[in-house]
């Protein structure tokens, strides 16, 4: 990972913990991923990875092809609209859409929804009918089989996500008879963070084959096909985001075989990504607060913990992080656990990792931290302030902001 490296002045100005997002790197990732896909394939940015409106705006502004937005809440809807996306640009997903959320999205012009069950489809249709519109719905498919291995598999097991593929044909008449909603196509998301390009290609090929089979079994001409993602990127460790060289040709061959009209938009084809597009744009800067030795184990205590980065760490998806080498060239000459300031033994960013000899006040930089940071963390635990988020472009600060937690009283009065 290369780019902006001198964070001392930013830390002095904005304090720590501090996220720094490089807009230029986001635009480069967007360009790289569009370049790896066939020209006709659309791309959704999953706002769950980083819903900062200016980060999301970088997915659609500037030169080159623009992303669309994939959201799963009205909060993400607000962020997408603030970033300049229109309702027509948005795909609304998720297994727990409430009537109020659907009404708000439809009123904002959202017309494309991924549905996870027959009742989810009915809920979308009911709210659309109330507003006198028709929603296009993609049947999310939980495939009974898969092709590649991955760190996070999203199909092939009982799940709240998607229709079980083996049961879809018998539901055909029920799905096509929902007022206010039309079945426009299918949505797949079988994996996250594929281990290599060959695995990614194999999974996409399997998805396209299954989609064609389901289209035939359902007797529906798909107008839209979202084949998901799985694009890899290093997460909180050193390393570079891959650039896929064989994917474009492989996807073209698979689509030509199963969906011969796809180049003319029959169906329109899309992929989606979050981590790949924003992961390597961000770095988390924190300060060393204290050092401690306990029964032969060394601890570096920082002002950033799982409230700042890594609310998913308790699920075993994050540990251990790594740190960027110190600017003064200090080597990683000790093994210690990097922990945060919270009153819980689970506040660990990295257990027994290689670190330089550090002192209180030193800065520690966690690389590739642009995805699943602030809003994927335990930000309200213990009431600590959220980290600042600074965006840079061309080495210059273009904005700085901080999320605030405000209690909105609906009954009673605030304590005076």
Give the pLDDT of residue 318. Answer: 59
Inform me whether the pLDDT recorded for 395 exceeds 50: yes
Query: pLDDT per residue over 312-354, tens digit each?
Result: 544 555 567 889 888 888 888 899 999 999 998 889 999 999 9
Helix (H, G, I), strand (E, B) or coil at 22: strand
Q: What are phi and psi of 22, to 5 degrees?
A: -100, 110
Query: pLDDT per residue over 220-272, tens digit each?
Result: 999 999 999 999 999 899 999 999 999 999 999 999 999 999 999 999 999 99
Q: What are phi and psi of 252, to 5 degrees?
A: -60, -45
Give the pLDDT of residue 151. Answer: 45
pLDDT, mean over the chain? 90
The pairing of beta strand 224-226 with beta strand 388-393: unpaired
Give the pLDDT of residue 158. Answer: 43
b or e along 83-98 (b: 16 or more beta carbons within 10 Å of the residue's beta carbon)?
A: bebebebbbbbbeebe
Query: pLDDT per residue over 120-158, tens digit each?
Result: 999 999 999 999 999 999 999 987 665 544 445 455 454
Do 76 and 47 touch, CB atoms closer than 8 A?
A: yes
- CATH of 23-277, picked from 1.10.10.410, 3.40.190.100, 3.90.180.10, 3.20.20.10, is 3.20.20.10
Do 115 and 121 touch, CB atoms closer than 8 A?
A: yes
Highest mean pLDDT among 115-119, 163-167, 317-321: 115-119
% helix, strand, coil for the chain, step of 5:
30, 25, 45
Tokens of 356: 């330089």
Helix (H, G, I), strand (E, B) or coil at 265: coil
pTM for this one?
Answer: 0.93
Q: Which CATH class is domain 280-402?
A: mainly beta
pLDDT band at residue 16, thresholds of 50, 70 and 90?
very high
Query: pLDDT per residue over 173-197, tens digit each?
Result: 889 999 999 999 999 988 888 889 9
Give the pLDDT of residue 298. Answer: 96
| Distance set, CA 256 to CA 1, 40, 157, 264 (Å) | 36, 12, 30, 11
Equal CATH topology for 23-277 and 280-402? no
Domain ranges of the chain: 23-277, 280-402
Tokens of 27: 């635009």
Inform me whether the pLDDT recorded for 66 exceeds 70: yes
Inform me whether the pLDDT recorded for 5 exceeds 70: no
How far, in Å, CA of 320 to CA of 169, rounded?
Answer: 44
Selection from 17, 20, 26 nearest residue 5 by Cα: 20
């Amino acid at each position: 990972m290369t780019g902006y490296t001198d964070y001392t002045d930013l830390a002095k100005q904005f304090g720590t913990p501090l996220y720094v997002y490089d807009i230029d790197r986001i635009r480069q990732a967007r360009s790289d991923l569009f370049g790896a896909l066939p020209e006709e394939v659309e791309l959704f940015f999953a706002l769950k990875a980083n819903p900062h409106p200016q980060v999301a705006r970088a997915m659609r502004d500037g030169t080159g092809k623009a992303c669309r937005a994939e959201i799963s809440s009205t909060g993400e809807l607000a962020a997408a609209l603030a970033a300049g996306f229109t309702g027509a640009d948005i795909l609304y997903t998720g297994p727990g859409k409430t009537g109020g959320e659907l009404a708000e999205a439809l009123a904002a012009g959202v017309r494309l929804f991924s549905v996870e069950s027959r009742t989810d489809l009915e809920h979308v249709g009911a709210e659309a009918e109330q507003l006198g519109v028709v929603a296009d719905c993609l049947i999310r498919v939980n495939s009974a089989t898969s092709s590649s291995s991955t760190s996070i598999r999203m199909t092939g097991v009982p799940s709240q996500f998607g229709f079980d593929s083996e049961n879809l044909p018998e539901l055909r008449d029920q799905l096509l008879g929902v007022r206010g909603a039309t079945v426009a196509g299918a949505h797949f998301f079988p994996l996250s963070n594929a281990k290599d390009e060959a695995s990614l290609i194999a999974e996409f090929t399997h998805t396209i084959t299954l989609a064609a089979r389901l289209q035939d079994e359902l007797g529906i001409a798909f107008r839209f096909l979202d084949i998901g993602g799985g694009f890899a990127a290093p997460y909180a460790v050193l390393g570079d985001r891959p650039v896929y060289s064989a994917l474009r040709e492989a996807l073209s061959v698979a689509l030509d075989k199963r969906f011969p009209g796809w180049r003319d938009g029959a169906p329109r084809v899309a992929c989606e990504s979050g981590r790949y597009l924003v992961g390597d744009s961000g770095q988390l800067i924190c300060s060393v607060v204290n050092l401690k030795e306990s029964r032969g184990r060394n601890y570096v205590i920082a002002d950033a913990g799982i409230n700042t980065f890594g609310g998913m760490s308790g699920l075993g998806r994050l540990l251990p992080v790594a740190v960027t080498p110190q600017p003064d060239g200090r080597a990683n000459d000790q093994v210690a656990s990097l922990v945060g300031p919270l009153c819980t033994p689970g506040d660990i960013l990295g257990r027994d990792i290689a670190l330089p000899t550090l002192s209180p006040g030193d800065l520690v930089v966690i690389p590739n931290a642009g995805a699943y940071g602030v809003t994927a963390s335990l930000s309200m635990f213990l009431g600590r302030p959220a980290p600042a988020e600074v965006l840079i472009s061309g080495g210059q600060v273009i904005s700085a902001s901080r999320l605030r937690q405000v209690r909105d009283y609906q009954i009673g009065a605030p304590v005076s």
